[in-house]
Amino acid sequence: MPVIVQKYGGTSIGSIEKISQVAEKIITEKEKGNDLVVVVSAMSGETNKLVELAKSIDKDPSGREFDVLLSTGEQITISLLAMTLIKKGYKAISFTGSQAGIFTNSVFNKARIETINNSKIKKYLDLGYIVVIAGFQGVTENGEVTTLGRGGSDTSAVAISVAMDAKECQIFTDVDGVFTTDPRISAGAKKIDQITSEEMLELSSQGSKVLQPRAVEFAGKYDIGIRVLSTFGDGSGTFIKKENDGRMEKAIISGIAFNKDEAQLTIRGVPDQPGIASLILGPIAELNIDVDMIVQNVGEDGLANFTFTVPRSDFNNGLKSLEESSKKLKAKKVIGNNKIVKISMVGVGMRTHPGVASKMFSVLADNNINISMISTSEIKISIVTDEKNLETAINVLHDAFKLER
Ligand code: ADP
Ligand code: ASP
Ligand code: MG
């Protein structure tokens, strides 16, 4: 029988009533003659609660213990969903990541799936069971529980689809599919019917949390089709394909993503000499802080200003490190801003249509939106601006590039 993998996110299973609705959806697919493997997240808000509990004890808790804790959210929903299916008269069994044979490396909190031993999943499918698996978690060779980073159930679902050679990986969530921008920010956001995995990867990496970037990367690598669908509505959702087969409309811009999880650090008036960048960023790297965008500009006085962005959670540590570097380098000033947003326009059409960047900048200027940093890649232009500009910026760009059509 063909195997279908379905994943249900937190809001889709946020209550017993919703779990019952999800069970009906699963049963409908099962009745069509498919084998069903269902991956679930924790109930909405549950993982955040667990994170808060841990951080109330230690801001930087033991990675191992943190994962033991975070993995419990999904253990609740797998059992509740399996019980519901059984109560409705179906054979169902729940597995934690470890029970399902999902092996990861040993990087706690952001582990990568290495292999899946699918024999147990197969055995129960063959016996007629609906198999329910906890997303977001796995186990190391040594039996340690790991988690895959926030939003990681998407990646679990894709990896299980690969391991089971599934017909399709269906990601059910609280919106109708992937939109041209977050439908909660812009009323004009339009659902996209099909998108290439290259563009989806860029949108996810730039902050569209509808899919975890690693899930998209995994699906692209193993050529698995992902379909993003609404749990509570009908409709064909959004299909994410490896390549454009020529039937997809070639939009110049496919979507706009934003990321509010970054902060900006600036050091002013450092000597413009070789090695300065590494003197500033070396101590940041030693603190394990990831740097995203970097801009350096040199004034006529031979002094340079150096600005970069870091995850917002690392803002205070980054600022402290920069203040220390500032003393050593006799810099003029250190400035931190943790109320910024990065807005990114993504589209493969940029490769063949010049002028997207200049249009983006002029639209923002016309609306009095100041840009503090810019970075580009082949299919993406990102700008950093004050967080208060987020909605206006998204809406004016969405209009100017006619994404609602
Ligand atoms: P789940 O709990 O199902 O994994 P998430 O909250 O992780 O759901 O992801 C779904 C959310 O992603 C939506 O509610 C929406 O606000 C947000 N989102 C951000 N960008 C987009 C986009 N371009 N298209 C659709 N949803 C988006
Ligand atoms: N429950 C986890 C989280 O909130 C995993 C997921 O939802 O995909 O990040
Ligand atoms: Mg998610």
Radius of gyration for the chain, computed over Cα atoms and rounded to the nearest angstrom:
23
Q: Which atom of ligand 1 is nearest to the CA of 180?
A: 23
CB 327 within 8 A of CB 286: no
Domain ranges of the chain: 3-174
Residue nearest to atom 4 of ligand 1 (CA): 9
Q: How far is the CA of 206 from the centre of ligand 3 (A)?
A: 15
| Partners of 68 in the β-ladder | none
pTM: 0.94
Distance CA 176, CA 146 (A): 31
Please state the atom number of ligand 2 nearest to the C-alpha of residue 74: 1
Mean pLDDT within 48-63: 96
In which element (H, E) is residue 263 found? strand 262-271
Q: How confident is the model at residue 168 (pLDDT cuts 50, 70, 90)?
A: confident
Can you tell me the distance from the alpha carbon of 345 to that of 286, in angstroms, rounded to the nearest whole number?
32
Average pLDDT value for residue range 7-26:
97
pLDDT at 311: 95
Residue 14 near ligand 2, beta carbon < 6 Å? no
Average pLDDT, integer, range 171-186: 97
| CATH 3.40.50.2300 corresponds to the domain 3-174 | no
Is pLDDT of 82 > 90? yes
Ligand closest to 209 (CA) is: 1
What residues line ligand 1, using a CB cutoff of 6 Å? 9-12, 41, 151, 173-175, 178-179, 181-184, 208-210, 255
Protein residue closest via CA to atom 6 of ligand 2: 151
Distance CA 38, CA 3 (A): 10
pLDDT confidence tier of residue 252, bands split at 50, 70 and 90: confident
Please indicate whether residue 136, judged by its CB atom, sits closer than 6 Å to ligand 2. yes
One-character DSSP codes across 280-293: HHHHHHHTTPPP--
Which region among 58-72, 249-263, 311-325 has the lowest average model confidence (pLDDT)?
Answer: 249-263
pLDDT value at position 250? 63
Q: What is the separation, in whole angstroms, between the first and last Cα of the chain? A: 40
151 C-alpha to ligand 3 centroid (Å): 4
**Of all protein residues, whose CA lies closest to atom 8 belonging to ligand 2?**
151
Residues β-bridged to residue 7: 39, 171
Rounded distance from Cα 210 to ligand 1 centre (Å): 3
Q: What is the pLDDT of residue 245?
A: 59
Using the mean position of ligand 2's atoms as its centre, give its distance from the Cα of residue 70 in Å. Answer: 9
Ligand nearest to the backbone CA of 78: 2
Q: Does the pLDDT at position 248 exceed 80?
A: no
Which pLDDT tens digit goes with each residue over 340-383?
999 999 999 888 888 999 999 999 999 999 999 999 999 999 99
**Cβ atoms within 10 A of the Cβ of 381, count?**
20
127 class by beta-carbon count within 10 Å (0-12 exposed, 13-18 middle, 19+ buried): exposed
- Can you read off the two tokens belonging to residue 294? 């970097």
Cβ neighbours, 10 Å, residue 370: 11
Mean local confidence (pLDDT), 147-170: 96
pLDDT of residue 253: 92
